[in-house]
Amino acid sequence: MAWVLLFVAGLLEIVWSIGLKFSDGFTRLWPSVITVAGVVASMLLLAQAAKSLPIGTAYGVWVGIGAVGAAVVGMVALHEPVTAARIFFVCLLVVSVVGLEATSGGK
């Protein structure tokens, strides 16, 4: 169950990080509300997952999901540059997240 909570927390990290872009420096109400709600919910789920997962693994996976998701959404939906180097490094992040999960001790 901790891994499911962590995965959802990572998805919410994507939501709030992209929300930052649309909040325009917290000057737009609804994108700001979504961003803050996403941060709070993401942190609460991360905290619950960290009760039974090693914190280094939980935090690393959480950050990795958020970073990969934000980068992919940025490239696909926000028309950020798509280069071979960016794709390569996003793939490295995915490998790192999978590696952390695989070496977490089976919890």
Query: Per the structure, how many domains does the chain have?
Result: 1
Range 1-13 average pLDDT: 97
Share of the chain above pLDDT 90, in %: 93
pLDDT one-digit tens code per residue, 20-47: 999 999 999 999 999 999 999 999 999 9
Q: Is the pLDDT of residue 106 over 70?
A: no
3-state helix, strand, coil in the chain (%, to 5): 80, 0, 20
Can you give the residue range of the structural domain that contains 11?
Answer: 2-102
- 55 domain residue, yes or no: yes
pTM of structure: 0.91
Distance of CA 100 to the CA centre of its chain: 15
Nearest by Cα to 67 from 3, 1, 16: 16
Lowest mean pLDDT among 8-12, 18-22, 97-101: 97-101
Q: Is the pLDDT of residue 18 over 60?
A: yes
- 91 domain residue, yes or no: yes
- 107 domain residue, yes or no: no
- Give the count of beta carbons closer than 10 Å to the beta carbon of residue 95: 11
